[in-house]
């Protein structure tokens, strides 16, 4: 057999070997089992060889050469997208390549009306979108140049507008906060009057969010609370005590006790006049609208019926005390 034929045979055998390995490893199951996952981060500008090395170190690739050949033959070695991935250790080469080319999946996450910044922080960090404490400890001063409407705000509490958002694992606090604030800017600011005090409106809306479920009743309570402040009367909103009692959280917070009404705190609206030091939650757009459109009435007091959640209004203290006996003390 001459040299030319030998080269042709060798080339053919090599092609068969490569194709065999290609089909064999396209669906190969790697070390580990379906219950084990690893996180891998691919950064912008990283070479395929560096990515391949990372995948090998994480146990996602058994043979780097095979993974490289597969990606070269499929033309996908330069299509891998940066980001953070959470991948099963039993993933096949074909599925792994597909995931890396598609990019990390977005997480759809809901900020529910009335969630506090601590509750949001816990939810986002549990999904790996941020690190725990990032939202709570964020330096709000760094935002005030681009978001001048935050000028008087002491924290982000109240300004993380409830909505559905999409983020990637590892998005980080900067991206998360700016995306939510941009949403707030688009949906809320156009409804403000030029002379409106945004912080006071959001603060009031946060009380309405936690106290009153019905929009029309929220408007009445907004008018009632504004009237109480104007008359120099304490607001006496129980939700502010809960916020203080459980350090900025409402979920799983124990019921209020008599001692809680005596705690010396700027969030104690029984002891201190006016609105609490900051908003006590992140109110919905509906609650913000109610705060922007308070309804005047002859009412000075209100309470919520524990059974129906309906708000019971009173014009006098005597009437209010009678309602307390009927709805709360029976």
**Domain edges within the chain:** 17-102, 107-191, 198-327
CB-CB contact of 84 with 41 (8 Å): yes
Query: Which DSSP state fits 149?
Result: G
CATH class held by domain 17-102: alpha beta
- Tens digits of pLDDT across the chain (330 residues): 566 666 665 565 566 555 555 555 444 444 444 457 788 888 888 999 999 999 999 999 988 999 999 999 899 989 998 888 888 888 889 999 999 999 888 899 999 999 999 999 999 999 889 999 999 999 999 999 999 999 999 999 999 999 999 998 888 899 999 999 999 999 999 999 888 999 999 999 999 999 999 999 999 999 999 999 999 999 999 999 999 999 999 999 999 999 999 999 999 999 999 999 999 999 999 999 999 999 999 999 999 999 999 999 999 999 999 999 998 886
CB-CB contact of 37 with 86 (8 Å): yes
Scan for tokens 């009445």, then name that residue: 220
* Cβ-count burial 145-183 (b if 16+ within 10 Å, e if not): eebebbeebebbbbbbbbbebebbbbbebeebbeebbeb
Give residues with Cβ within 8 angstroms of 80, minimum separation 6: 42, 48, 51, 100, 101
Give Dmax over CA atoms of the chain in angstroms: 114
Task: Give the residues across from 313 on adjacent strands.
Answer: 302
Burial class (CB in 10 A: 0-12, 13-18, 19+), 20: exposed
Instruction: Give residue 193's pLDDT.
Output: 87
Q: If you write DSSP's letter for every residue of 28-71 in order, what string do you get? A: ---SS-TT-EEEEEE-TT--HHHHHHHHHHTTS-S-HHHHHHHH
**Which residue in 120, 129, 103, 97 sits closest to 30, CA to CA?**
97
CB-CB contact of 157 with 267 (8 Å): no
Angle at Cα 284 formed by Cα 278 and Cα 179, nearest 5°?
A: 85
Instruction: Give residue 88's pLDDT.
Output: 84
CB-CB contact of 49 with 71 (8 Å): no
Instruction: Give residue 30's pLDDT.
Output: 46
Task: Record the tokens describing residue 48, joined without a space.
Answer: 């395929």
Predicted TM-score of the model (pTM) = 0.79
CB-CB contact of 187 with 285 (8 Å): yes
CA 120, 121, 125, 130 torsion-angle sign: positive
β-pairing, 107-110 vs 164-167, is antiparallel
Alpha-carbon gap, residue 43 to 282, rounded angstroms: 34
Which ranges in 213-272 belong to alpha helices (H)? Answer: 215-230, 238-245
312: three-class secondary structure by DSSP: strand
């Amino acid at each position: 057999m001459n040299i030319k034929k030998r080269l042709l045979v060798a080339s053919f055998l090599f092609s068969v070997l490569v194709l065999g390995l290609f089909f064999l490893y396209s669906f190969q199951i790697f070390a580990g089992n379906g219950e084990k996952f690893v996180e891998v981060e691919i950064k912008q500008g990283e070479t395929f060889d560096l990515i391949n090395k990372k995948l090998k170190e994480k146990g996602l690739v058994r043979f780097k050469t095979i993974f490289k050949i597969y990606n070269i033959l499929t033309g996908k070695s330069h299509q891998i997208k940066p980001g953070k991935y959470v991948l099963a250790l039993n993933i096949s080469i074909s599925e792994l390549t597909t995931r890396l080319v598609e990019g990390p999946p977005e997480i759809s996450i809901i900020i529910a009306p009335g969630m506090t910044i601590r509750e949001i922080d816990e939810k986002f960090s549990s999904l790996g979108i941020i690190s725990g404490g990032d939202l709570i400890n964020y330096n709000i001063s760094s935002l005030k140049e681009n978001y001048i409407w935050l000028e008087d705000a002491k924290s982000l509490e109240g300004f993380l507008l409830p909505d559905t958002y999409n983020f990637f694992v590892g998005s980080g606090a900067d991206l998360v906060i700016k995306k939510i604030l941009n949403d707030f800017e688009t949906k809320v600011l156009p409804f403000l009057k030029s002379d409106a005090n945004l912080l006071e409106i959001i603060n009031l809306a946060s009380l309405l969010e936690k106290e009153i479920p019905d929009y029309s009743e929220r408007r009445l309570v907004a008018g009632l609370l504004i009237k109480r402040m104007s008359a120099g009367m304490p607001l006496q909103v129980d939700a502010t005590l809960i916020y203080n009692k459980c350090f900025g959280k409402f979920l799983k917070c124990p019921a209020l006790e008599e001692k809680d009404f005596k705690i010396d705190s700027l969030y104690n609206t029984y002891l201190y006049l006016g609105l609490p030091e900051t908003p006590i939650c992140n109110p919905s757009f509906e609650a913000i609208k109610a705060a922007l459109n308070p309804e005047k009435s002859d009412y000075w007091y209100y309470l919520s019926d524990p059974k129906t959640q309906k708000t019971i209004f009173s014009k006098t203290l005597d009437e209010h005390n009678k309602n307390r006996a009927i709805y709360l003390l029976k």
